[in-house]
Amino acid sequence: MPTPRASETWTSAASAAALGSGAATARPASASRNPIRPPRRAPSTRRQATASPRAVPTTSRGISCRSTKTRRGGRAGGSPLPGSIGTSSDFIFRAGIVAPTLDADPSGTTRTSLRRQAVERVGVLIAGGGIIGSAIACALVERGVNDVCVVDLDLAGMYASSELNAGGVRATWWCEPNVASCRDTIAFFEAHADEVSLRQRGYLWLYDDAAKFARARERRAFQERLGVRVDLLDPAEIARRFPLLDRNLDQIAGATFSPRDGLVNPNAVRRLYRERACAGGARFLNRHYVEGVEVGEAEPGRRRVERVHVVEVQKGAPADESGLLRRILTQHRVEPEASLDHPSLRPEIFVNALGAWSPLLSARLGVRDWAVPVRRQIAMVDVRARDLPPGADLHGAGMIVDASGLYFHPEGPYTLAGFSSPAEPSGYEFRYDGEAFFEAELWPRLAHRASAFERCRHVRGWSGLYSVTPDCSGVLGQVPGFANAFEAHSFTGRGVMQSWAVGRGIAELICDGRFGALDLAPLAGERFLAGPDAFVKEDLHI
C-alpha cells in the first residue's frame, strides 16, 4: 500500500454524476425496496482502475451524488424509513425538509454544500465517511431509504484507517460474529472481485507455541462449521508450500492456511460502496466536522439526537500541506480562521461511524465509549529477486502472519510489512518512526524467518490508527439509552473485512428494528457494562 497521496478531483457535473456509475450491480435478492419509492434506472457501467496506487476520486467539498437534477426547496414528503424502531410518527420523514443547494464554481464543478439555514432535516445522518460509514449508506439506500447524508472532515481519508490499513481480508477468527461477518463480506468481494482488486491468495498463520496451535486446531471445526476452510500445516508442509520461509521453522509448532482469505484494495472497496450509495441518492459532504450534538428526551428513560452542529471547514490541498486536517484530527477543534459555516442538521436517525474518533462523538452524546485509538505503523520494503531462495514466489504470496506478530504481503513491486508493538500508548498520533521502526521492529523479524529479507531495503512507511476495544471486537448496534442513535465502529483493524456485513446489519436495525441475515447483537456496546462474561473476546488479531 503506497503512502498517502493527493486524490483525483472531479471537474464537472457529469463527472460528479458518474460516481453512481458501476454501482447498479445486482441488488441482493434479500434486499427489499421501499414500496413508496419507485425503482431507479440503473446507471451506465464504469469501473474504477484498481491498480496500485490506490486512489479515491472526490471533490474538494463533497461528492455530488445527485448531480444537477437535485431538487431545491421544500419536500412535500419523502420515503419513510421502513421498519419498527419506535413509532411511525417518530421516524417518518417529515415535510419541509430543505434540500442542499448546489453551487457552481467558475471551472464548472458542481458541489454539494449545506448553506447556513435554521435547520436542515435529514432522514439518516451518518458521521464518518470511511469504509464503515460508506457501507452503511450503501446498505440503507439499497433498502429504499432515500434521504441519507454522510458528513466527514476528509472524504479522501488521508488520515483514515480506511486509507492506511494493510488491505488484508480474512474470515479466520475465533469468535462467531467476527467469522460470520467477515465471511459474508468476503462473499460480497468475490462478487465484485475486479472492482475491489480481490486477490485470494490465502492467509498463512504461524504458531511457535504448542498450546496456541492446539487451540487453533480445536477452533478449526468451529470455523469450518461456519463455512470457512482452514488447513493445518506442520513445519515440513510449511517448508514445501512456502519455500520463502527458509529459516527457523524448527521453532514452529504448526500453521493454519485459509485459502479463501486474501487482499483487497481498500480505496476501491470504499469507492464501490460510495458509488452504490450515490446511485440511490445518498449525499457525501466533505470538509464537514461534527462539532456538537443536542440531545432531547424521546420518552421516559430514552433520549434522542435532536440536532447535530457541523463546522464546514475551508478547502485545501488533499495532501494537507498546511497540516490543517491533522491539527483538527489530533486537537479535536476547528481553528476559527478555518471555519466557513456552521450548519445544523436535524436527523431522524443518527449513526456514529467515526472509527478511531468515535469516543469523542460518544462523549458528546453523554455515553461512555470503551474504545481507544492506538497507533499502528507499516513499512514498504524492497527485496532483491536474486536474494530469493529457489522456488520462492514472493509476489504471488498472500498474507503471512509470523509467530512474532510480524505480518507481511506483496504490494506492487515491494513488500508491505507491519508490526503492532504491545507497548504502544493510546492517543491520536500519526508520526511514523521511519528507519528506526524498520531497524528495531521489522527487519530482525523478517530476517529471522526468511533469508530473502537479510538484505532488504526500507523504502517508506506510514502510521494510522486502530480503534481498540477491551475484547478486540467491534461495536455495533443501537446506542444505549437512545431511541434514534446507532453506532458502528472500533473494529480493531478489521473494518474493511467486516464492512459489508456491518453496513447490512445497521441497515437492518434501522429499517426493521432487528438483525436479519446475521445475529450481531453480541457486538452491542452494552456488553462492556455487563462485564467480561459478555465480551466477544477475540485473540486472533494483529
pLDDT tens profile 96-109? 223 333 333 333 33
pLDDT score, position 522: 98
Query: What CA–CA distance (Å, rounded) separates 351 from 150?
Result: 9
Place of cell 453512481: 20
* Strand 414-419 relative to strand 344-352, pairing: unpaired
Q: According to the 3-state scheme, what is the secondary structure of 386-407?
A: HHCCCCCCHHHCCEEECCCCCE
pLDDT score, position 118: 56
Joined grid coordinates for residue 440: 528495531
Question: Does 74 score more than 50 pLDDT?
Answer: no
Contact 197, 265 (CB under 8 A): yes
Buried b (16+ CB within 10 A) or exposed e, 444-478: ebbebbbbbbeebebeebbbbbbbbbebbbbbbbb
Confidence of residue 41 (pLDDT cuts 50, 70, 90): very low
Question: Does 424 score more than 90 pLDDT?
Answer: yes
Query: What CA–CA distance (Å, rounded) separates 348 from 475?
Result: 21
Contact 123, 95 (CB under 8 A): no
Question: Does 26 score more than 50 pLDDT?
Answer: no
For residue 370, the tally of other CB atoms under 10 A from its CB is 16
Query: What CA–CA distance (Å, rounded) separates 194 from 508?
Result: 27
Query: What CA–CA distance (Å, rounded) separates 100 from 46?
Result: 27
pLDDT score, position 416: 98
Joined grid coordinates for residue 109: 464543478
pLDDT tens digit sequence for 449-481: 999 999 999 999 999 999 999 999 999 999 999
DSSP string for 156-217: T-TT-HHHHS--EE----SSHHHHHHHHHHHHHHHHTHHHHT-B---EEEEE--HHHHHHHH
pLDDT score, position 532: 96
CB-based contacts of 73: which residues, under 8 Å, 6+ apart?
A: 98, 99
Joined grid coordinates for residue 437: 521502526
Q: What is the mean pLDDT of residues 135-141?
A: 99
Residue 452 DSSP label: G
Closest to 183 in 3D by CA, of 143, 216, 215, 228? 228
pLDDT score, position 342: 93
Q: Comparing 8-17, 35-44, 337-346, which segment has the lowest mean pLDDT?
A: 8-17
Contact 461, 432 (CB under 8 A): yes
Q: According to the 3-state scheme, what is the secondary structure of 327-390?
A: HHHHHCCCCHHHEEECCEEEEEEEEECCHHHHHHHHHHHCCCCCCEEEEEEEEEEECCHHHCCC
Joined grid coordinates for residue 439: 531497524
Question: Does 519 score more than 60 pLDDT?
Answer: yes
Query: What CA–CA distance (Å, rounded) separates 236 from 249?
Result: 8
Closest to 237 in 3D by CA, of 282, 206, 276? 206
Q: Which residue has the higher pLDDT, 398 or 15?
A: 398
Residue 425 DSSP label: P
Q: Which residue has the higher pLDDT, 111 or 116?
A: 116
All structural domains of the chain, each given as residue ranges with its CATH number in brackets, are: 13-39+56-163+266-311+338-369+472-534 (3.50.50.60), 203-259+373-468 (3.30.9.10)
Q: pTM for this one?
A: 0.81
pLDDT tens digit sequence for 473-515: 999 999 999 999 999 999 999 999 999 999 999 999 999 999 9
Confidence of residue 316 (pLDDT cuts 50, 70, 90): confident
